[in-house]
Chain A
């Protein structure tokens, strides 16, 4: 992105990732309005697509979280759709993915992190929830278990945020580099460089297709991991 200083984001008085997030929310809002406008018993069009997405998310939530999944439907559905739309926005010329900014992904990961512990304590009670961090080990090993569990808990938002950020940023950088190569090679006047510009021109559509795949997979991975974390916190830890 830094290679294109004419891009809109360099002329805004605030970080454009907020603008991208707002745009993603607007797209989700408009599509949701279209889908919930008629509320047909036999769905079609936008309602069909939205129902399919929601039902898929609910299905996975039910499997990962169990009977308590219903109260987390809004969070999981919004996480999946927001991350998916944000990821895909980076493939549209002139826009970029809000999820290619660490502030966005860390924000999302923190929402999952705090939700996990808030609902874990709410469901099981503070003592029972904290107790499971000490593990079913002899007393002298419990402090070590606590350290390991705390590191594990803290690593979760880090891994969640950096995985999404890294994948989406890599996709954006790759597309930007390919665009930059075309911009540099094509008007150079050098026949070899002009011929070389064919490589990024041919490669870019394939990378865009790959980008779509990565966008879907990353949205899916983030949401599934959020389900696993929250599901693990709200379910009983007797089996640990």
Chain B
């Protein structure tokens, strides 16, 4: 058991080497190549995933930048629109105020004219009525000169009465 048999030893060496050659050639060699291919594939996949992640990061940064630009632009446009709106509003209000003022003045003018016309009309009617009343009171006609004098006196009284508050 302790001694060495050289033929046996050589047989063992030959057995080992032949078995190693066959098993490596048929089984372990292909399996090792498969392992290497798999580890290369995994490394490649990881690299691609990492590259994809980096690209996503870049795209995300670009997207965020563009989004902030768009938001800024939108904010600026909204502000401009608000300013323009306010400006338009002021202009419209100004125009409306002017128009209202114009209408008011025209109305006032019309009212004044109308009032004057009514006053004149009233005066005329009152004069006619007054003359008719005088004629009835006196029982006779009044000459034109007297008529004018009475009318002027009356109108003077009326104007005085109008001027009293």
Residues of A at the B interface (CB closer than 8 Å) are 15, 17-18, 21-22, 25, 28-29, 32-33, 35-36, 39, 41, 47, 50-51, 54-55, 58, 73-75, 77-78, 82, 98, 100-104, 106-108, 110-111, 169
> Known interface pairs A35-B27, A102-B3, A103-B4. Does A18 touch B11 (Cβ–Cβ under 8 Å)?
yes
- A18 pairs with B30, CB closer than 8 A: no
Interface residue? B137 (CB, 8 A): no
- Give the dominant DSSP class at B's interface: helix
- Chain B residues contacting A32 (CB-CB under 8 Å) are 23, 26-28, 31
Interface residue from B3, B31, B38 paired with A35 (Cβ < 8 Å): B31
- Chain B residues contacting A73 (CB-CB under 8 Å) are 28, 32
Nearest A-chain residue to B10, judged by Cβ: A107
Shortest C-beta distance, A51 to chain B (Å), equals 6
- B20 pairs with A74, CB closer than 8 A: yes
> Known interface pairs A41-B38, A51-B31, A103-B8. Does A18 touch B19 (Cβ–Cβ under 8 Å)?
no
- B9 pairs with A36, CB closer than 8 A: no
Write out, one digit per residue, whether chain B residues 1-41 have a CB within 8 A of any chain A CB (1) or not (0): 11111001111110111011111101111111011001000
- B31 pairs with A36, CB closer than 8 A: yes
> Known interface pairs A21-B16, A107-B10. Does A39 touch B34 (Cβ–Cβ under 8 Å)?
yes
- A103 pairs with B24, CB closer than 8 A: no
- Chain B residues contacting A51 (CB-CB under 8 Å) are 31, 35
Nearest A-chain residue to B15, judged by Cβ: A21
Nearest A-chain residue to B12, judged by Cβ: A107
